[in-house]
Amino acid sequence: MKRYKLLIVVLCVLVGVNVVLVYSGEQNKMSNEFRKRFIKNFQRTSLNTTEHDAMMLRILVESARAKRGIEVGSATGFGAINMGIAFERTGGHLYTLEIDSRMVKKCRDNLRKVGLQNTVTCIEGDALKTLPTLEGEYDFVFIDAVKRDYLKYLKLIEPKLKPGAVIVGDNVIRSAGAMRDFLRYIQESPKYDTVIIRASMEKNDGMSVSYKIK
């Protein structure tokens, strides 16, 4: 009987230690220090946004106190992680859309590694088909997918945008020729105030930043 009781005590201690370790691991994923190291050492590809552009996105989300965001074009999740940190701080949620199943897996894995899997949802599929399935209103959008389809993405999202929403388009300098219709619309429509900015010279490119007036 004594051995049985001792075994129970030992098992309880081991379970308690495992729970503490798991909790500690989860907390570590959410620490600023861990996330800074993860972002610094992130193996970015040409499809990922640059480090400074990603930080600009994070600042824009936080400045707007955005609650519901859409990213069109996840790649491996570098931008989603940076925006996800901001949405975690605002108590919001980001939906990131990606057509490549391999990229989707990598994006989801990277989000889990930094403890953002509950703040960012990666949706697999063609954005032209998945955007219409998203419900509710949104106050932040980042478009970084097929350049010739930027206006199509925006038109699918536009009915769901709240007044005061921020819309960001990537690669609008070097790929301007492929998105003339988008740039013309976003710059000339009375619905938006728009500026072209360069937060990084890494790709010698820039982003459009628009504010939805009404």
Helix (H, G, I), strand (E, B) or coil at 154: helix
pLDDT at 148 exceeding the cut of 80:
yes
> What integer pLDDT is reported at residue 29 of this predicted model?
81
The angle subtended at Cα 17 by Cα 13 and Cα 21, nearest 5°, is 170
Structure tokens at 61: 């989300």
pTM: 0.86
pLDDT at 66 exceeding the cut of 50:
yes
Structure tokens at 189: 């429509």
* Residue the block writes with tokens 């819309």: 167
Provide φ and ψ at 211, rounded to 5°: -115, 125
> What integer pLDDT is reported at residue 103 of this predicted model?
97
> What integer pLDDT is reported at residue 7 of this predicted model?
52
Count of Cβ atoms closer than 10 Å to residue 170 Cβ = 24
> What integer pLDDT is reported at residue 151 of this predicted model?
98
- Sheet containing strand 161-170, edge to edge, reads 120-124, 93-98, 68-72, 138-143, 161-170, 207-212, 192-197
Q: Express each pLDDT in 5-42 by its tens digit.
A: 555 554 544 444 443 333 345 558 889 999 999 999 99
DSSP state of 163: E
Q: Express each pLDDT in 194-205 by its tens digit.
A: 999 998 888 899
